[in-house]
Structures are given as structure tokens and as C-alpha cells.
Amino acid sequence: MLLHLCTWAEVEAYLKNSKGIVMPIGSTEQHGPNGLIGTDAICAEVIGREVGAAAGAMVGPTIAVGMAVHHMEFPGSMTLKPSTLLAVIRDYVASLAEHGFERFFFVNGHGGNVPTIRAAFYEVYAELRALKGANAPDVRCALVNWWEAPGVGALSRELFPGVEGSHATPSEVSVTQYAYPEAIKSAPMTPQVAPSGGFHDARDFRRRYPDGRIGSDPSLARPEHGRRMVEAAVAGISDQYRRFVEEA
């Protein structure tokens, strides 16, 4: 059940039976030679929607631009400052809490979002307490990174042993190929497996990883692998969602 495809009356009816909502959040940034710029948002949206379908949950609009300042040396990448992303998350949650939503379950597709998302949760809690005191609504927020879902890591090791890497991974590229087979890209990988390591800022990232990959070989991505990734992620995450909305 997608929020943006509902009427207000349908949302009102939903809230009589459930206070939970799935919130996909990703990023719009480079993903190597054959990865789509929208990879992180696509993964979060596809998996978030499937989690909603499996768990009977409302699914909010995808937050498609995240904190990706370290990718800004690659054309097409977009970023929000951490303070901007924090404000967006806070305002999304506050808006929906005003209508009666209380359990906000963020399905995340971008590791660079994690610190800001967690900080935003505490901004929400602090603001509600400041405004309402002991009468503040029982709002709770949870964060799940889809690639950490039960079963996903094992599947990645099975399909891409030693070459998953940490950015522009064959797992995430496979998910986008499954979601958008008409947009599959092909490009040479030089070297075949990208170097691994850290970085400091956007210029340092581009210098160390000139084609945008870190430790990965996304030429191994396949739509059928993406289907299996989505199935594994949805199975684990939908269980996590149910436990979250049911906890005392």
C-alpha cells in the first residue's frame, strides 16, 4: 500500500488498524562503470515496497537523495548536506506523526546516510518531548540497511565470493538490473576487481577509485541474482518490521 497512491480516507482507515509505515531512503550518486546513479534509491524503493506488501504495511515516498558529498567528483551525483537530510527526515516523520503514525521503519540503501538518519531520530524524539512533554506521542523509529538483512550476506558470498566490495557492488547492481532490465549497462572493468580501502573527501575518493568502485566486480551482476537478493532481503526485513510494530 503506497502512501502516494492512496486517498486521505484510505490512510485514515489504515491508521485505525496500524500505526506503522515503511520509509525507503537511498541516494542519487555514481555507482561505477555499469551501475545506475539511482542505485541506492532503487534498491531501497524496490525492497521497501516488497516489505510493505509482505507485511501489509503502508509505504511512504522514497527519499531518493541522501548524504553523498564524497561522490561529488563524479558527474550526475547529487547530495544533501547532513543538516539538510536530517531536517528532511525530521519533517517527514513529524508530518506523519501528526496524523497518527507512530512506528517509522526506514529501509536504507546507502551507507553514507546512516549517521544522519540516526541523528535525525533523536532530533525527532527531542522535539516531540519539547513540544508535548509527558504527553508526547509514542513515536519510535528504526533503521534497517537492506544489505545487512538476514540471508543477504550469505547469498552475496555465494554469488560473488571475494568481490562484493563496499561500493558499486555486484549485489546492488543486480537488484537494479532486476528492477529495470531495460536499463542494464555494460562496461569494461579495469582492473577487474577494484582496489579496497578508505578515503577522506570527494577528491580523494576520485583519486583512489577513478572509476567509482571500491573492492568490487559489478560485471558479475545479473537480473536473476537481483531477484534472489530482493527475495532474501524482503524475507528478513519483513519479519523485522512485524516485530518492530508489535513490540510493547
Spatial separation of the C-alpha atoms in residues 141 and 13, rounded to whole Å: 22
Please count the helices (runs of H) and the strands (runs of E) in the chain: 8, 4
SS3 164: coil
What's the pLDDT at 195?
Answer: 97
What's the pLDDT at 248?
Answer: 76
* Cα Rg of the chain, angstroms: 18
**112 DSSP 8-state letter:** G
For residues 82 and 117, the answer to whether their CB atoms sit within 8 Å is: no
Rounded alpha-carbon distances, angstroms, from residue 5 to 11, 41, 102, 104: 10, 19, 21, 19
Mean local confidence (pLDDT), 105-112: 98
Mean local confidence (pLDDT), 227-231: 98
Q: Kindly list the domain boundaries of the chain, sorted by start residue.
A: 3-148+155-237
Question: Which region among 135-149, 174-188, 227-241 has the lowest average model confidence (pLDDT)?
Answer: 135-149
Q: What is the pLDDT of residues 91-104, one digit of tens each?
A: 999 999 999 999 99
* 135 pLDDT tier (thresholds 50, 70, 90): confident
CB atoms closer than 10 angstroms to residue 57: 23
Cell 562484493: give the residue: 164
Nearest to 227 by CA among 174, 182, 181: 174
Spatial separation of the C-alpha atoms in residues 8 and 225, rounded to whole Å: 38
The CATH number of the domain covering residues in 3-148+155-237: 3.40.50.10310
Q: How far apart are the first and last CA of the chain?
A: 24
Over 90: is that where the pLDDT of 137 sits?
no
Average model confidence (pLDDT) across the chain: 96
